[in-house]
Copies of this chain bind each other. A is one copy, B any other.
Amino acid sequence: MTLELPRRTAPTLEAVAAAAGVSRSTVSRVVNGSSHVSPDVIDAVNAAIESLNYIPNRAARSLANRQTMAIALVVPEDTNRFFGDPFFAEIVQGITQGLEDSDYVLNLQLASPSSPSEKTIRYLLGGNVDGAIVVSHHSGDDFFTTLDATIPVVFGGRPYHPELHRNNYVDVDNAAGAAMGTQYLIDLGRQRIGTIAGPPNMQAAIDRAEGWGAAMRESGHPADLVEYGDFTMASGAAAMRALLDREPNLDAVFVASDLMATGAITVLRDRGKTVPADVAVVGFDDSSAATSGEIALTTVHQPSREMGAEMARMLLALLRNEPTERERVMPTRMVVRTSA
């Protein structure tokens, strides 16, 4: 049995007003930093706030001014994917950092990868948050792409079927980045270059696969060796096996994420292939997964943390009705280590 603690009931604006000998309006003004309050009144009110330990009730405030000062970070991925890929950690860090100087708090909502649950929908639509950042959007999820009819939304990564909706997003040029990574392998003189693509229901995955294909075709190579993963290590391993079974002479592979590349490398070594001598591997992300394995990955770097910060900045601008570009495309670059 637990001890029943008498829960303290929090002091209200009213109490502060009484203590400071002013009206509630005035207390509200100083709490919200409004100008046009005389210095001594400000001091008196602050003293009362201090001594009563007053903290404004957020529900009341929200109801009155229709702002929650909270934003949702929605990640339509299951817990394993979310926690398993360091890419997300960096995005979250960036967002947190971008929000630091603001008054907004970030509420993380793990949603279902297929379509958002009733609970998520009610949360997003029920006035719990002023805006949302959606990272890792999948096709079929029109809820999120149309959510901005209700609250401002910024996507981390161009949403699927971007032509259908005019959503705000920050992204890298995935196709160009992938082409760069592939070109690097081509320039190495590799002949049979495959790719492990991400899930075809995600725009970034599609774009990276296309970038690989474009680079291959432009240099006169066949763009036939494609296998798909879902951005997890295990799926990277499985795709690598499939690729090797189809083409034992494969001598390079462009992998759409570092985590999948790590999985692919395990398989290559199991099959007796040396990396990079027999098979060169280029990843994508340059997340901490790139350097956590035994073979440091040569990879296409995307500025994940900065992207997160940029998402926060963009959403803040929308929330404040400040002008902002609808899309922000950040640069990628090659990071050469040992896998290629």
Contacts and interface: CB of A to CB of B under 8 A. Distances in A.
Interface of A: 1-3, 5, 7-8, 10, 55-60, 62-63, 68, 70, 79-80, 82-84, 86, 88-89, 92-93, 96, 105, 107-110, 119, 122-123, 125-128, 148-151, 166, 168, 318, 323-326
B96 A79 contact: yes
Contacts of A68: 59
A105 B79 contact: no
Given A55-B126, A57-B127, A79-B93, 12 more contacts: A5-B148, A7-B151, A10-B127, A10-B150, A59-B68, A82-B89, A83-B86, A83-B88, A84-B89, A105-B109, A105-B123, A107-B107
Contact of A149 (B5, B123, B127): B5
Contacts of A3: 166, 326
A187 to B, nearest CB: 33
Contact of A326 (B1, B88, B148, B151): B1
A93 B77 CA distance: 12
Contact of A55 (B56, B79, B109, B122): B122
Given A89-B80, A125-B55, A325 B8 contact: no
Contact of A1 (B92, B128, B150, B325): B325
A318 B88 CA distance: 33
Which of A68, A126, A326 has the most C-beta atoms of chain B within 10 angstroms of its own C-beta? A126
A96 B7 CA distance: 26
A324 B7 contact: no
Contacts of A323: 1-2
A4 B213 CA distance: 37
A58 B151 contact: no
Contact of A83 (B7, B59, B92, B318): B92
